[in-house]
């Protein structure tokens, strides 16, 4: 039961911080112009913030391998929450997008 609670807390936390991040980007004029309308391009690619979700999932795998299973469960759920909200708000399942210059 404790594992389910930890997973749900991580999932909820990931969803809330992602929604808050997107809300701030969309409502703050300076940030919206700097990051939302003019994406940062690395090597011709736009890196979406759902990539942080993959990073957190990788962190959870490492924590699991070093026998930190409770922490691993939280980081896994956090990563999944980020990916879920980004997929819903962007209306597509995307991590890296090739940009035309």
* Structural domain range at position 89: 2-98
Judged against a pLDDT cut of 90, whether residue 84 lies above it is answered with: yes
Q: In degrees to the nearest 10, what's the CA dihedral of 77, 54, 26, 7?
A: 0
pLDDT in tens, 9-44: 999 999 999 999 888 888 888 877 776 655 666 677
Q: How many helices (H) and strands (E) does the chain have?
A: 4, 3
pLDDT in tens, 56-74: 999 999 999 999 999 999 9
Question: What total number of domains does the chain contain?
Answer: 1
| Strands lying side by side in the sheet with 96-98 | 41-42, 45-47, 96-98
Locate 38 and state its tokens: 């003019």
Q: Please name the residues in contact with 96: beta carbons below 8 A apart, sequence gap of 6 or more.
A: 45, 46, 47, 48, 51
Judged against a pLDDT cut of 70, whether residue 3 lies above it is answered with: yes
Mean pLDDT of the chain, nearest integer: 86
């Amino acid at each position: 039961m404790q594992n389910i609670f930890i997973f749900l807390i991580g999932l909820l936390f990931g969803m809330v911080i992602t929604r808050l991040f997107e809300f701030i980007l969309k409502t703050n004029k300076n940030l919206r112009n700097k990051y939302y309308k003019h994406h940062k391009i690395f090597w011709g690619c736009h890196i979406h913030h759902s990539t942080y979700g993959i990073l957190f999932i990788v962190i959870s795998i490492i924590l699991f391998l070093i026998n930190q299973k409770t922490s691993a469960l939280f980081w896994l759920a956090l990563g999944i929450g980020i990916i879920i909200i980004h997929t819903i708000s962007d209306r597509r399942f995307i991590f890296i997008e090739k940009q035309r210059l």
